[in-house]
Amino acid sequence: MEIPYHKDWQSGKTVLECNKYMLEHQIYCDVTFQVGMAGRLMSAHKIVLSSRSSVFAAMFYGSLPEASDVIVVSDIEPVVFDLLLRFLYYENQELSCKTVIGTLYTAEKYAVTGLVKLCQRFLESNITEETVCEIIENARIFNMKDSFTKCLHFICKSQSCAQKVFESSGFLRCSRESLVSLVKADELPLDEKMIYQSLIRWAMHRCKKGEIDVEDSVEIRKTLGNLIFHVRFPLMSLKTFWKDVADKDILSAEEKVQISQLITGKWVKNPDFATTARQGLGVVQVMRIMRVNDIRTDRMSYQHGKIDAIEFEVSKSLLLRGLLLYGSENVPYTYMVEAKVLLRSQTLLHFPEKSISGSTQQFKIVFDRPCNITAKEKYTLWVKLTGPDSYQGKYSVCVNCGDFTFVFHKSGLSNNGTNISSGQIPGILCSMER
């Protein structure tokens, strides 16, 4: 039988060019694969495949070599298997958005590490708001930690980007495991209401696919599983929580009570929900409310554990995030600082004693979580300092900042000289309620 190729086809070709010629012209092939659901027959060379893949080497030359004349590969489409062969034979690197996922699966199956890395680089260079969820899913399946990290950085680069991803159709196709990795990230620059609503949308999509009633709260909760515990409900305001979350029966009555206690600052043993603010919400505009008008010439001393305290109320609800305190003129200085936020003698937030050093006239303490402040309620700022003498200020009783009006009052807890006209606590750090 006449062979349909030039008898001197090897002349002038490199090794890879010879491999390519043999594959394209099917010369000396000694193995056949039945590929895809349609069963397309594709031939190759055992020695070439085995030289590039430990899986093929075991298949053809291992202790139990494949005995069949035709090897069935039903889980890979012909176009992808062809990409694998061309990479193995002559390092062809043609990938597309349509073939990369299938090629990655195939490369992993046959332990072709070079092709795995090629697919990984392709995916990482094509991260968009539309593709990132699919890439995250495959990064989880194939244990590509670097790819997942790059996807997470992409999502967390801005609030608008994260919001588009969470609103995308790709988000609905993510597995629960992938969403857990995403939603628990401290860097995520979204408020908890947005995260919760996106997860409910995901759960309803899952229920609809399974022909389950999307209005059944029990089924929604079952579908969410442990995802629900990665929503930081205690960071919401009480108003937002009861209006947009607690009116549904997704959470149990006990969970609603626990979250309400955490929001209002009550101590809860072993809480189920995180109370730590997400680092990604650094985009939040923090306001400095300064009640100081001038610096007094005399200094304040801190002996015998005395307390500096002041009461305040505000015209609109907000989130209290920290305090500004006066430092010493002798720099650098170090203070032991403890602080509390009180409502009618109840501790809403406790900043445990901590050593803080500085060299500026004022220094700040930032709370681990924001404290919800309700409009027209009187709150007490309580501070205990231990350290060198500090500056003190002269203050205004009323401070206006945009839509917010702050009124300060004397506190009966203050026994170190701080009051509405002078003393410590020159300012507070807060942001608008989410």
What is the mean pLDDT for each group of 10 consecutive residues in the chain (434 residues)?
Answer: 64 92 93 95 96 96 88 96 97 92 95 95 91 93 91 89 94 94 91 95 94 91 95 88 91 94 79 80 69 88 88 92 93 93 90 90 88 91 95 92 90 94 93 66
The position carrying tokens 């991803």 is 165
Residue from 110, 104, 108, 107 nearest 56 by CA: 110
Q: Helices 132-141 and 176-183: crossing angle, nearest 10°?
A: 110
Domain residue spans of the chain: 15-124, 169-281, 286-432
Per residue in 322-376, pLDDT tens?
Answer: 999 999 998 899 999 999 999 988 888 999 999 999 888 899 999 888 888 988 9
Q: Which of 71, 145, 136 is nearest to 110 (CA)?
A: 71
Query: How far is the C-alpha of 300 from the C-alpha of 423, rounded, in Å?
Result: 7
Confidence at residue 1, expressed as pLDDT on a 0 to 100 scale: 39
Rg for the chain, CA atoms, rounded: 32
The CA distance from 309 to 381, in Å, is 5
Q: Beta strands of 315-421 (E only): which ranges?
A: 318-326, 333-343, 346-358, 362-373, 379-386, 393-395, 398-401, 404-410
| Separation between Cα atoms, residue 201 and residue 163, nearest integer Å | 14
Which token pair is 301?
A: 């001393």
Per-residue pLDDT at 5:
59
**Residue 225 Cα distances to 95, 176, 177, 232, 250, angstroms:** 37, 8, 10, 15, 11
Domains 15-124 and 286-432 agree in fold: no
pTM of the model: 0.62
Given the DSSP bridges, would you call strands 318-326 and 427-432 parallel, antiparallel or unpaired? antiparallel
How far is Cα 29 from Cα 19, in angstroms, rounded to an integer? 11
- Residue-wise pLDDT tens digits, 40-67: 999 999 999 999 999 999 999 998 888 8
pLDDT at 233: 93
Axis crossing angle, helix 132-141 with helix 100-109, rounded to the nearest 10: 10
CATH topology of domain 286-432: Jelly Rolls (2.60.120)
CATH number of 15-124: 3.30.710.10
